[in-house]
Structure 1
Amino acid sequence: MIDADKAVKLTFLGGAGTVTGSKTLVEINGKRILIDCGLFQGLKELRLLNWDDFPVDPKTIDAIVLTHAHLDHCGYIPLLVKKGFKGPIHCTYPTLELTEIILKDSAKIQEEDAERANKHQYTRHEHAEPLYTLKDVMNSLPLFVGHNLHEWVIIHEYFKFEFLNSGHILGGAFVNALANGKKVLFSGDIGRLDPMLLYPPKHVREADYVILESTYGDRLHLQENVKSKLREVIEQTIHRGGILMIPSFAVERTQEILYLIYQLREEELLPKCKIFLDSPMGIDASNTYKRYPDWQKISNYELDRMFEDIYLIQDAEQSRLQVADQKPKVVLAGSGMIEGGRILHYLNAHIDNPDNTLLFVGYQGEGTRGRAILSGSTEIKFFGEYRKVKCEIRHIDSLSAHADYSEMIQWLKGFKNKPQQIILNHGEPHQTDALRVRIQHELKLEVFVPKMMESVLLE
């Protein structure tokens, strides 16, 4: 029998059976802490959950602890604040800066999408409204509190934690918590064991429970020469007079691509062409990277040089001019899964030209335009209309910022004493189940896979 007064209760309000909307509610002795506060993306049935009433009264949540700045982990925060949450939002200092950038961009895109839908009347509603506005984002920013790695943060007498480097994106961190005497580790998203720019994930020696993501629980990343593959795609596209369009995540993936381009230029292996970063959020995120060199294993010299000779486009009018320009070039633009942002305007103008290339360099979630195109869809809908996909489609798979199953198994082997239980979340069902089987078979650990809205008591 579990003593309810001493139990730690976890409820998975998102990120269970899916790779989006991550929210794990921790309840101890009448206190509530929310680990991550992500937005649901992808499938319509998931996106609609963003509009539902929150499962618990936001006013009763004492604090949010944020693992990193990706929208599926932080994107619901403005709405939670709008609904009454008033507690602190704890994160690392780089996460604080990147989250502000990402939330502002999210609000801007939602406002623009609603305005466009109303103007062109392709909304099913009488009047389209954004999920939240820039004003809602600004109201949430004063609640953020930045912390260093390895700094113990006391939420209350029953819960304290420290951030440990997760190697996923700049500022990304594990939440290593002591909850009513139980050692509970929340992975957030765990990075590769040898990231391109960042230091690898911290090996944790002790935990009673590990809440572990499973995005690539069924997959091994290809062992390909990423730099050579990128060079090949750029050369082929420019040679035939085309435009290379790269829908790129503003945080981490954009900086990795720019670093590879810098290396190719240093080695004089790139054809003569202009490289554009047409992403205000990507530009702002890159500036944040420059401010935190200690988080990255590349030299300060490389960090400065990798942004040279890149044409940065902030202004909307400049972006429109580049969209209209038919000259061969390379363009990085958000969003990474083609769910919004300036990449849609490039596709609107150039997706029907076989000389052009659309290059995917990151994970494409279920229900996104990116997943549909990668799966072979010959028509894609945006701006209220279907467009034929005639440009060449390419994909560099091994650039993922998520550990694959082999890397997660290797990381789990770093524990000095075996955890009592592994709880898998943040994965589509077949991915999570594949990782469950591997962990049970190779490590002989107990594994639990929660469903959405399911609760579990940690003894």
Structure 2
Amino acid sequence: MKIHFLGGAGTVTGSKTLIEHNNLRILIDCGMFQGIKSLRELNREPLSILPETIDFVLLTHGHLDHCGWLPKLVNEGFNGKIFCTRPTKEISRLILYDSAKIQEEEAKKANEEHFSKHDPAEPLYTEAEVDAVIPKFRVVEKDLDVKLDDDVSFKFFYASHILGACSIELTIDGKVLVFSGDIGQDDDVLMFPPNKPQKADYVFLESTYGNRLHPQTNALLELETIVNNTFNKGGTVVIPSFAVERVQTMMYLIWQLKKEERIPNMPYVIDTPMGISVLDVFKDNRTWHKLSFEDCDEMCKVFTLISDYKDSMNAVYDKQPKVVIAASGMITGGRVLSYLEHLIDKPETTVTLVGYQAEGTRGRKLLEGAQEIKIYGKYYPVLANIMLIESLSAHGDQKDLLNWLSELETKPKKVFLVHGENEAADELRLKVQEQYGFDSQVPFLGQVVEI
């Protein structure tokens, strides 16, 4: 059996792991690379394995770095089935169409304003190419064994992180391979704790926060302080946010603060059409999270929900103090860029980061103290306050990741640390060996391992 690390190795994005057994090829996740340019350019490179030779894709969840390369995979010849949970199918559909739309709009803008070195600038894929992906999805219930071949089966089990996210137990010829996908925190605001694997010969464990512990701070109190301080200065709080789970988490926290009258009456704006659409997915999949139908309805009443672009522009130029939650979470695209174009150079503005910021993204640059950021070919001075509420991450920290391994009944032959920058993955490798004595390895991008 061969394992090909085609993405999510040595980096947090572009998750793709291919398992080759006899004549069967199974791809775990099919994500888009994000962040630094050298990684983003990989999105336009062909896979080292011909897509037409891949039989199945198993999708852990619907984030762009796990599903965002599917249109390219299909366009380049993949004609198999894509297995996922029901919420993951719904979220992937929203994310893929949104991704294609943003790429088409940005290519058009680049061509009109001539700020791209490519002539013409072209999107990675189009909405029409997403159309070809959707019929290939096959919905599978979690905790249900699904047979792919005579000696190959898999099942999904709950991973927390975001709506629909699951880890995968893949059994091939009697060997059990467990792929964590992204694992949520044990005490997430909206999600239940992740289920832990009981048996595994080989484990593929994410390591996003492999070298960090989330601070034991009160996120509600941090958010209350940020909102009140910014309001008192007459400024706007801009919260760049992932449309799935993160938008809903921020809505929930603001709703709690409003109920307790801890923050002022002013506009609270959700400006992400996809984030608004995800609210319906939350309502339709109530067994996957902690919110009741009534909670969802009550929470939404606090906010102005913006879908129309004209309303979005009105909100951008509205000078009154407000709180705006807009995608994308790492400030790589989306409507949050319009707000930052207008507000990043104002000292009364607060930009509040509430999720992981990958290497090379605008979010990471702001976090590291950048004095200016580039948006649509222009540089803007950073005079706004940059804040981080780290405890809100949808990813488990080092303690959560180690805890996830705690119920394995027998010692796995190998633990591969994936979906992490090298320093984080290597520190987690040492911790896994120290705490459990498991043989652990950090694979590199493009590596092929025989097991």
Q: Secondary structure at the match of 1:235?
A: helix
Q: How does 1:62-141 map to 2 (within 5 A)?
A: 62-141=55-134
Q: Secondary structure at the match of 1:277?
A: strand
State the match for 1:448 in structure 2.
441
Q: Secondary structure at the match of 1:306?
A: helix
State the match for 1:220 in structure 2.
213
State the match for 2:313 in structure 1.
320
- Inter-partner Cα distance in structure 2 for 1:129 and 1:393: 33
State the match for 1:169 in structure 2.
162
Q: Which residue among 428, 431, 442 is the counterpart of 1:435?
A: 428
- Inter-partner Cα distance in structure 1 for 2:188 and 2:366: 27
Q: How does 1:46-65 map to 2 (within 5 A)?
A: 46-65=39-58
Kindly provide the amino acid, as one letter, of the partner of residue 302 in structure 1: D
- The structural deviation recorded for 1:300 is 3.5
Q: Secondary structure at the match of 2:370?
A: coil
- Inter-partner Cα distance in structure 2 for 1:425 and 1:353: 39
State the match for 1:241 in structure 2.
234
- Inter-partner Cα distance in structure 2 for 1:157 and 1:49: 35
- The structural deviation recorded for 1:320 is 0.8
Structure 1 unmatched ranges of 5 or more: 1-7
Q: Secondary structure at the match of 2:20?
A: strand
Task: Please give the TM-score of this superposition, normalised by the length of structure 2.
Answer: 0.99
Q: Secondary structure at the match of 2:239?
A: strand
- The structural deviation recorded for 1:420 is 2.1
- Inter-partner Cα distance in structure 1 for 2:442 and 2:237: 41
Q: Secondary structure at the match of 1:402?
A: coil
CA contact under 8 A between 1:28 and 1:158: conserved in structure 2? no
Task: Please give the TM-score of this superposition, normalised by the length of structure 1.
Answer: 0.97
State the match for 1:195 in structure 2.
188
- Inter-partner Cα distance in structure 2 for 1:111 and 1:134: 8
Q: How does 1:342-381 map to 2 (within 5 A)?
A: 342-381=335-374
1:370-429 alpha-carbon deviations (Å, 9 max, x no partner): 101110111100111111011111110111111111111112112122222211111100
CA contact under 8 A between 1:278 and 1:342: conserved in structure 2? yes
Does residue 301 (structure 1) correspond to residue 294 (structure 2)? The answer is yes
Q: Secondary structure at the match of 2:204?
A: strand
State the match for 1:144 in structure 2.
137
Q: Secondary structure at the match of 1:403?
A: coil
Q: Secondary structure at the match of 2:133?
A: helix
CA contact under 8 A between 1:352 and 1:390: conserved in structure 2? yes
State the match for 1:272 in structure 2.
265
1:63-100 alpha-carbon deviations (Å, 9 max, x no partner): 10000000000000001101111100000000000000
Q: Secondary structure at the match of 1:358?
A: strand
1:291-350 alpha-carbon deviations (Å, 9 max, x no partner): 111111233332332222210000011111111111110000011011100000001111
Kindly provide the amino acid, as one letter, of the partner of residue 414 in structure 1: E
CA contact under 8 A between 1:38 and 1:77: conserved in structure 2? yes
State the match for 1:26 in structure 2.
19
Q: Which residue among 383, 405, 419 is the counterpart of 1:412?
A: 405
CA contact under 8 A between 1:33 and 1:65: conserved in structure 2? yes
- Inter-partner Cα distance in structure 2 for 1:396 and 1:124: 36
Q: Secondary structure at the match of 1:145?
A: strand
Q: Secondary structure at the match of 1:229?
A: helix
Does residue 394 (structure 1) correspond to residue 356 (structure 2)? The answer is no
Q: Secondary structure at the match of 1:212?
A: strand
State the match for 1:257 in structure 2.
250
- The structural deviation recorded for 1:272 is 1.2
- Inter-partner Cα distance in structure 1 for 2:195 and 2:297: 26
- Inter-partner Cα distance in structure 1 for 2:101 and 2:339: 19
Kindly provide the amino acid, as one letter, of the partner of residue 142 in structure 1: P
- Inter-partner Cα distance in structure 1 for 2:260 and 2:293: 19
1:118-140 alpha-carbon deviations (Å, 9 max, x no partner): 00011112200000000000111
Kindly provide the amino acid, as one letter, of the partner of residue 144 in structure 1: F
